[in-house]
Structure 1
Amino acid sequence: MSDQELKTYLSRAKTIAVLGAHKDPSRPAHYVPRYLLERGYRILPVNPRFAGEELFGEKVAASLLELQGPVDILDVFRPGEALMAHLEEILALRPGLVWLQSGIRNPAFEERVREAGIPLVADRCLMVEHRRLFFGSIPL
């Protein structure tokens, strides 16, 4: 997916569901969605371990099936080998874009999602890409 296509998705998106969201601020599954929340996105956290608790101003859902309303981007923080277990829920949700975070790949899962007509980004950090596309390179 080109930078312009990514920027268009991120510009139009309002709601981002986070599969595998976490309460621990030191974990990427917390600080990436926190960054996105601070950029104006509505974050819908999904994690059965924290179901019913509040995170990012929303009640944590136990599964994707509990989410109400459209999801523009599904940001996934689950190991590659666990992705197929979520496939049917993801296909039922029909997010505008599935985003697999850095280090997450599963070619069979990726193929099934794309075959269903859902665009997919794999093995890239949504926070890093958002910063790069909207704020340019940040000096170290």
Structure 2
Amino acid sequence: MMSENEVRNLLKDARTIAIVGMSDDPKRDSNGVARFLKRNGYGIIPVNPNLEGHVINERPYASLRDIAQPVDVVVIFRRSEFVPEIVEDAIAIGARAVWMQLGVVHNEAAERAKAAGIPVTMDRCMAIEHRRLMRGIEPIHA
């Protein structure tokens, strides 16, 4: 698990965030967190094979491996049993970090990511942590 300092630095330095399990329903947590992060200056890449058309004015991708640009953070809004495959994709694309949202935990996949040099946080909400840790701190890309 990342320390508070590591999370703060990740939030400060990250530019592009892929949201795996992104929904086009504004009532879903994945959509709300993505909108919050976008308002705070991050580039958002929706990832969901069931999405058609743009979501929050961003082109969705069926999988992480379809994304051509660099991804700083992979945020996972999928059930824990789907995490190992997503982590393998995150490793394959060279993501800088993996973030499992509240309720998403998979220790073996986290160990696999760490072994590949990718820091991981689990069972934490990126929007909540951003509000808590980034108050008064400007991201590098702002």
Q: How does the TM-score come out when normalised to structure 2?
A: 0.90
Query: 1:29-108 counterparts in 2 under 5 A?
Result: 29-50=30-51, 52-108=52-108
Deviation string, structure 1 residues 42-99 (Cα, Å, up to 9, x no partner): 000000010x410122211001111112111111101101112323312111211100
Aligned residue in 1 for 2:12: 11
Deviation at 1:106, TM superposition (A): 0.9
Other structure's SS at 2:134 match? helix
Unmatched 5+ stretches in structure 2? 137-142
Gaps of 5+ in 1: none
Aligned counterpart, 2:131: 131
Higher relative helix content: 1
Q: How many residues align?
A: 135
Q: CA deviation at 1:116?
A: 0.8
Separation of aligned partners in 1, 2:88 and 2:120: 15
Confirm or deny: 8 A CA contact 2:100 2:123 kept in the other structure.
Answer: yes
Determine if contact 2:87/2:98 at 8 Å carries over to the other structure: no
Please state how far the C-alpha of 1:2 moved relative to its aligned partner: 2.2
- Structure number with greater CO (CA < 8 Å, separation at least 6) is 2
Q: 2:59, 2:73 → 1: CA distance? A: 18
Using structure 1 for the length normalisation, give the TM-score.
0.91
Q: Which residue of 1 aligns with 2:140?
A: none
Runs (4+) of structure 1 exceeding 3 A deviation are: none
How far does residue 6 in structure 1 lie from its aligned partner after superposition?
1.2
